[in-house]
Chain A
Amino acid sequence: MRLVLAFLAVFGFAWGAAADGSMPVVPAATGDPHPEGNDYWRVHHMKMLLHDRDLTMRDGVRNVMPGAEPIQASLGECFDCHGVQDEAGAYVSYEDERHFCRVCHDYTAVQVDCFMCHRSTPSDSTAHRTMATPDDPSSIEAYLARLAQEMTE
Chain B
Amino acid sequence: MTNRAEMTRRDILKSGAAAATVTLAPGVTLMAFGGTAAEASGRADSGKRWGLLIDASKCSPDCNDCVTACKTENGWGKDIESDHISPEQAPEWIRKVTLRDKTTGRTTSAPVMCQHCEEPPCVDVCPTGASMKRPDGIVLVDKHICIGCRYCMMACPYKARSFVHEPISDQPEQNPRGKGTVESCNLCAPRIDSGRIPACVEACEKAGHSAILFGDLKDPESPISKALKEYPSVALREDLQLNQGVRYTNL
The residues of A with any CB-CB pair to B shorter than 8 Å are: 35-36, 40, 44, 48, 51, 53-54, 57-65, 67-70, 72, 76, 93, 95, 115-121, 123, 125-132, 136, 138-141, 143-144, 146-148, 151
Complex interface: chain B residues within 8 A of A144 (CB): 215, 222-223
Given contacts A136-B196, A140-B195, A147-B223, contact A61 B42 (CB under 8 A): yes
Given contacts A68-B42, A93-B169, contact A60 B196 (CB under 8 A): no
B148 to chain A: closest CB distance in Å? 11
20 contacts between A and B (CB under 8 A): A35-B1, A53-B144, A57-B142, A59-B134, A60-B44, A60-B136, A61-B193, A64-B195, A69-B8, A69-B15, A117-B178, A119-B171, A120-B169, A128-B194, A132-B195, A132-B196, A140-B192, A140-B195, A141-B195, A143-B205
Asked if B144 and A65 make an inter-chain contact with CB atoms under 8 angstroms apart, the answer reads no
Main secondary structure on B side of the interface with A: loop
Instruction: Determine which residue in B8, B143, B167, B192 has the highest number of CB atoms from chain A within 10 A of its CB, and name it.
Output: B8
Q: How far is the CA of A101 from the CA of B30 in the complex (A)?
A: 44
Asked if A62 and B178 make an inter-chain contact with CB atoms under 8 angstroms apart, the answer reads no
Q: How far is the CA of A35 from the CA of B169 in the complex (A)?
A: 31
Complex interface: chain B residues within 8 A of A139 (CB): 195-197
B236 at the interface (CB under 8 A from A): no
Asked if B196 and A140 make an inter-chain contact with CB atoms under 8 angstroms apart, the answer reads yes
Asked if B172 and A117 make an inter-chain contact with CB atoms under 8 angstroms apart, the answer reads no
Asked if B193 and A64 make an inter-chain contact with CB atoms under 8 angstroms apart, the answer reads yes
Complex interface: chain B residues within 8 A of A120 (CB): 169
Asked if B4 and A48 make an inter-chain contact with CB atoms under 8 angstroms apart, the answer reads yes
Asked if B4 and A130 make an inter-chain contact with CB atoms under 8 angstroms apart, the answer reads no
Complex interface: chain B residues within 8 A of A76 (CB): 173-174
Given contacts A68-B40, A116-B167, A119-B173, contact A138 B134 (CB under 8 A): no
Complex interface: chain A residues within 8 A of B78 (CB): none
Asked if B43 and A69 make an inter-chain contact with CB atoms under 8 angstroms apart, the answer reads yes
Complex interface: chain A residues within 8 A of B118 (CB): none
Asked if A128 and B177 make an inter-chain contact with CB atoms under 8 angstroms apart, the answer reads no
The residues of B with any CB-CB pair to A shorter than 8 Å are: 1, 4, 8, 11-12, 15, 18, 39-44, 132, 134-136, 142-144, 167, 169-174, 176-181, 189-197, 201-202, 205, 213-215, 222-223
Complex interface: chain A residues within 8 A of B178 (CB): 116-118
Asked if B40 and A65 make an inter-chain contact with CB atoms under 8 angstroms apart, the answer reads yes
> Which residue of B has the minimal Cβ distance to A95?
B169
B157 to chain A: closest CB distance in Å? 25
Complex interface: chain A residues within 8 A of B190 (CB): 62, 128
Asked if A119 and B197 make an inter-chain contact with CB atoms under 8 angstroms apart, the answer reads no
Asked if B196 and A117 make an inter-chain contact with CB atoms under 8 angstroms apart, the answer reads no
Q: How far is the CA of A66 from the CA of B183 in the complex (A)?
A: 31
Complex interface: chain A residues within 8 A of B42 (CB): 60-65, 68-69
Instruction: Determine which residue in A60, A64, A141 has the highest number of CB atoms from chain B within 10 A of its CB, and name it.
Output: A60
Complex interface: chain A residues within 8 A of B172 (CB): 119, 123, 125
Q: How far is the CA of A58 from the CA of B179 in the complex (A)?
A: 21
Asked if A65 and B15 make an inter-chain contact with CB atoms under 8 angstroms apart, the answer reads no
B120 to chain A: closest CB distance in Å? 15
Given contacts A61-B43, A138-B202, contact A69 B12 (CB under 8 A): yes
Q: How far is the CA of A54 from the CA of B8 in the complex (A)?
A: 14
Asked if B176 and A117 make an inter-chain contact with CB atoms under 8 angstroms apart, the answer reads yes
Complex interface: chain B residues within 8 A of A64 (CB): 42, 193-195
> Which residue of B has the minimal Cβ distance to A60?
B44
